[in-house]
Structure formats: structure tokens, C-alpha cells
């Protein structure tokens, strides 16, 4: 049978394959709330402008409410024949309220309808991401505060570099997450324009009030160009970009947690709640949550590249290619939400093995830079020379199988006769971190100040 929406021009219905490749209802049903909200706002505006009667608007609204109830109760019969969420709802509305349903689509197209629905959905996703990031930052701040004095090895190349505090390490992730948060808010600001009323692509001859619908739907203002309104998906690309960057941050933390929780490192103990056992090896406790947080960004990055690739080279305005925008974005929204929730839970729950961290911090001659700095400060040695002398001290210690602080003073004096007992005061890991008071440095006092800074900023931003 010919299509109920456009059957006038068609003698027969679609091939089964046509229906299958064309239908989006299996995934765009996720937009039903947004679709109903958009239709209600549109109907109210049409009535206010005298384009439809108040009675028709009322029965449309009542019908849409009933449909929402049916969908929520799982009683709605989604049909592939009706292609997408827009036509599924409109067709059901016609069944429920009769001919008045046919007036709803005045001065509107599925092109502006889907642009609206998807924008609303992505906006909501940005708001959820905002809340999730806020919770993640709070969990990191709590750990940073508890561990302002906990000394651990700082790494470069995953080789021990210099001692840092665990609090400082947590705060590094706070900085990343806070930038993710600011990217999120920045993107919402650009997204906050309502495309409804752009109609198919050219606008409409009906006297509609786009400011009214924009306001009713919670947008700052209507979009200013009808072609752009139905063509653009950069709001979704921005979501995916923000998500990909955030996911990248999460995956780095996840990787660190995987490493830290190995018996070889033993820096953290994961809670039972965020680990799994092995079906064969009874002793195992695996960091599966961390591994999945590490992996989820793979899907998000794929979604970003996928949508960029779908959109590139499309002529204005709408092309059906753009129907391929949704599944990937939905998957990215869900993947990131899960990854963030799991990362937050792991950070909150994990036990920090402060003794293991401190011990590891003392290995690998981690205070060699402190020794070189001491030679510069106390003996007036040029840094390059101090670097060389310290390198020789490290070689000596390595040959003896001891730490720098365990070298006898006499051996150090062979390197430079001016070296005195006082040098030992800078060779310990606590002295090292305590000395790092430059702005942004790892000293416990700095960590406390930064925690206070972020608490204040999170409360006011």
C-alpha cells in the first residue's frame, strides 16, 4: 500500500529492503520525549498565531500526552512502516484524535523536527555530563585532600622521576575534568538555538512565531538561517569531541589504576565493588571496571570519526545521510556516562597504600634533582656542572646498590670536597616534596590550597 503520509504521489509502497534501510524507528524512538515536547510547543504556537484553532491545539496536546503515556507504559506499537519517531507519533495521533492531527504538521517538516529533537537530546546529554563531571571532580578533590601529604613516585616515561604527592596527582585529573566541564558548558552555549520553524529548508509563508517556540522549549533564541538549521549537526560533533577528549582523560586514569593495582606496584587496592574475580584462578582480583573505562573511549572516538565522515561533503541542506547521526551519538552518550560513573566510583572507593607509595618514591634515585639543586644553591655551582656531579653520585650509589641518601659523606666529598653533612637534609622524599612550593608545584601546602581553590570554584561556577 502507498504511504499514508505521502501516498498522493505514489502508486505502490516501498520494497522490503527500502523499508529496512530507511527506517530509523528502532533507534530514534529514544527521542520520543523531545518529539512530543516539540510538537506541543509547535501546536501551541500555531494556535496563538491563529493558524489552527484553540480546540485543535487542545486535542493535539491531549493526544500527545496520551501517546507519551502509552510509550512510557510500553503499550505503544512502534512500526517500521511508519519509518521514524516523528511519523509513528503523528500516525498514532491521527488514530487517537482524528483529522485535527493532520493540522499539526503545518509550517513544519521532519527536517526541522529531527534537528530540534536531536538538539534537545544532545543538550540534555551535555547537562548530564556536566553533573557527572562535577561528581567526578568532587571524588578526586576528596582523595586529594586526604592525601595531600602522601608521597608517591612521579613518573616520566613510566620511569621514576621525582617524588610527588598523591594529592597533586589527583589534582592533575581535576584540572583535566574541569576543562572537560568548561568545554561542555561552552558547547551548550553554541547549541542553544532552536531550529524549529526552519521547516523543510526555506522557512515558511505562515506567520509563525519562532521566538515563542524557542522560549517554550528552553532555548535562548531561534536559529537565524533556515538552511543551516536543518543541515547542521556540529552540536553533535561537539558533543562527540568533548566526549572523546573526556574519555581520553578517563582512559589515562584507568590505565594508571590498572598499573597501580598490580601486586608489583601495590599503590592502590580496589574495592570489591569495582573489581571482579576469575572463574578459574581463585586468588584473582581483576580491575575490570578500570579496563572498561580504558576501553569505552574506543567507541566514542569511533563515533566522532563516524559522524565527521558522514557529514563531510554533504551538500546543503538535509540529506538522508544525516539519519546516520543518531546511533553513534546515543552510544557515545551511554558509554561516557558509564565510564564516568565507574571512574567516580573507583576513585571514591579505592584504598591508597601509602607505605608502598612512599617506599617506591624513594627508589630510582628520585631525589637526584634535589641533590643537583642543593649543589647549585649551597655551592654556587652552575646547574650543568651540578647535573654532572649528581650523575656521578647516582652511578656510585647504583654500583653499591644503595640509595643516594645512604652514600657515605666521604664518597660524596670525593666528588666535591665542599659537600657537607647538610646535604642529607634534601635527599629524603618528604624534604623533596615539601620544597616544591613554586606555584602549581607538588608540595602538600600547595595541594591543600588547590583543593580549597577548586572547592570554591565548583561552588560558584
Q: Which residues are catalytic?
A: 157, 278
441: left (phi over 0), alpha (psi -120 to 50) or beta: beta
Residue 318 interacts with ligand ARG (CB under 6 A): yes or no: yes
Indicate which single residue of 28, 34, 112, 232 sits in contact with ligand ARG (rule: CB under 6 A): 28
Give every CB contact of residue 190 below 8 A, 6+ residues apart in sequence: 235, 238
Q: How far is the CB of 60 from ligand ARG (least distance, A)?
A: 20
28 or 256: whose CB is closer to ligand ARG?
Answer: 28
Phi, psi dihedral angles at 155 (to 5 degrees): -120, 150
What one-character DSSP code corresponds to residue 104?
T
Q: What is the largest CA-CA distance in the chain?
A: 102
Indicate which single residue of 306, 323, 344, 450 sits in contact with ligand ARG (rule: CB under 6 A): 323
Indicate which single residue of 320, 401, 410, 421 sits in contact with ligand ARG (rule: CB under 6 A): 320
CA distances from 332 to 239, 243, 317, 368, 438 (A): 9, 7, 25, 45, 40
Residue 46: HSE in the Cβ half-sphere, 13 Å Cα cutoff: 30
Do the Cβ atoms of 458 and 137 come closer than 8 Å?
Answer: yes
Do the Cβ atoms of 317 and 227 come closer than 8 Å?
Answer: yes
Q: Which stretch binds ligand ARG (CB under 6 A): 241-249, 272-280, 303-311, 315-323?
A: 315-323
Applying the rule CB under 6 A, the residues between 107 and 146 that interact with ligand ARG are 110-111, 114
Q: How far is the CB of 77 from ligand ARG (least distance, A)?
A: 18
Task: State how far the Cα of 16 lies from the Cα of 393, in Å rounded to an integer.
Answer: 79
Binding string, residues 195-234; x marks residues near ligand ARG by CB under 6 A? ----------------------------------------
Applying the rule CB under 6 A, the residues between 62 and 91 that interact with ligand ARG are 84
Q: How far is the CB of 346 from ligand ARG (least distance, A)?
A: 37
Task: State how far the Cα of 388 lies from the Cα of 446, in Å rounded to an integer.
Answer: 30
Do the Cβ atoms of 187 and 242 come closer than 8 Å?
Answer: yes
Applying the rule CB under 6 A, the residues between 363 and 402 that interact with ligand ARG are none
Q: How far is the CB of 108 from ligand ARG (least distance, A)?
A: 12
27 or 424: whose CB is closer to ligand ARG?
Answer: 27
35 or 145: whose CB is closer to ligand ARG?
Answer: 35
Q: How far is the CB of 32 from ligand ARG (least distance, A)?
A: 13
CA distances from 206 to 72, 188, 332, 345 (A): 34, 30, 38, 53
Indicate which single residue of 116, 188, 311, 322 sits in contact with ligand ARG (rule: CB under 6 A): 322
Give every CB contact of residue 264 below 8 A, 6+ residues apart in sequence: none
87 or 290: whose CB is closer to ligand ARG?
Answer: 87
Q: How far is the CB of 65 from ligand ARG (least distance, A)?
A: 23
* Residues that bind ligand ARG in the complex, under the rule CB under 6 A: 24, 28, 84, 110-111, 114, 318, 320, 322-323
Amino acid at each position: 500500500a502507498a504511504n499514508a503520509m505521502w501516498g498522493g504521489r505514489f502508486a505502490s509502497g516501498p520494497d522490503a529492503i527500502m523499508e529496512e534501510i530507511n527506517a530509523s524507528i528502532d533507534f530514534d524512538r529514544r527521542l520520543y520525549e523531545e518529539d512530543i515536547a516539540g510538537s506541543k510547543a509547535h501546536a501551541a504556537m500555531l494556535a496563538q498565531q491563529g493558524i489552527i484553532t484553540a480546540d485543535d491545539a487542545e486535542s493535539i496536546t491531549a493526544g500527545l500526552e496520551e501517546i507519551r503515556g502509552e510509550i512510557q507504559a510500553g503499550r505503544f506499537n512502534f512500526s517500521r512502516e511508519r519509518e521514524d519517531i516523528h511519523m509513528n507519533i503523528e500516525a498514532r495521533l491521527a488514530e487517537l484524535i482524528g483529522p485535527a492531527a493532520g493540522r499539526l504538521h503545518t509550517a513544519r517538516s521532519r527536517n526541522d523536527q529531527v534537528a530540534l529533537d536531536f538538539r534537545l537530546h544532545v543538550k540534555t546529554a551535555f547537562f548530564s555530563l556536566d553533573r557527572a563531571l562535577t561528581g567526578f571532580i568532587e571524588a578526586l578533590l576528596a582523595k586529594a585532600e586526604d592525601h595531600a601529604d602522601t608521597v608517591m613516585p612521579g613518573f616520566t616515561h613510566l620511569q621514576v622521576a621525582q617524588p610527588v604527592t598523591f594529592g597533586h596527582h589527583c589534582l592533575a585529573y581535576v584540572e583535566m575534568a574541569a576543562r572537560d566541564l568548561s568545554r561542555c558548558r561552552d558547547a551548550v552555549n553554541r547549541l542553544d538555538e532552536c531550529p524549529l520553524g526552519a521547516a523543510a529548508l526555506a522557512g515558511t509563508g505562515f506567520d509563525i512565531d519562532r521566538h515563542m517556540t524557542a522560549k517554550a522549549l528552553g532555548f535562548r533564541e531561534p536559529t537565524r538561517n533556515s538552511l543551516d538549521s536543518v543541515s547542521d549537526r556540529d552540536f553533535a560533533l561537539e558533543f562527540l569531541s568533548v566526549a572523546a577528549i573526556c574519555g581520553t582523560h578517563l582512559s589515562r586514569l584507568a590505565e594508571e589504576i590498572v598499573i597501580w593495582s598490580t601486586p608489583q606496584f601495590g599503590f592502590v587496592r580496589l574495592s570489591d565493588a569495582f573489581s571482579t574475580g576469575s572463574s578459574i584462578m581463585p586468588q584473582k582480583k581483576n580491575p575490570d571496571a578500570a579496563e572498561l573505562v580504558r576501553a569505552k573511549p574506543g567507541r566514542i572516538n569511533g563515533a566522532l570519526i563516524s559522524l565527521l565522515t558522514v557529514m563531510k561533503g554533504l551538500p546543503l541542506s538535509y540529506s538522508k545521510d544525516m539519519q546516520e547521526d543518531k546511533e553513534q551519538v546515543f552510544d557515545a552518550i551511554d558509554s561516557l556516562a558509564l565510564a564516568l560513573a565507574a571512574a567516580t566510583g573507583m576513585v571514591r572507593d579505592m584504598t591508597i597504600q601509602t607505605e608502598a607509595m612512599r617506599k617506591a618514591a624513594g627508589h630510582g634515585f628520585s631525589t637526584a634533582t634535589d641533590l643537583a639543586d642543593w649543589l647549585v644553591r649551597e655551592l654556587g655551582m652552575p646547574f650543568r656542572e651540578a647535573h654532572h656531579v649528581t650523575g656521578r653520585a647516582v652511578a656510585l650509589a647504583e654500583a653499591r646498590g644503595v640509595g643516594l641518601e645512604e652514600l657515605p659523606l666521604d664518597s660524596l666529598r670525593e666528588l666535591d670536597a665542599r659537600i657537607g653533612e647538610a646535604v642529607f637534609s634534601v635527599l629524603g622524599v618528604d624534604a623533596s616534596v615539601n620544597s616544591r612550593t613554586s606555584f602549581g608545584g607538588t608540595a602538600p601546602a600547595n595541594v591543600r590550597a588547590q583543593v580549597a581553590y577548586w572547592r570554591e570554584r565548583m561552588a560558584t561556577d
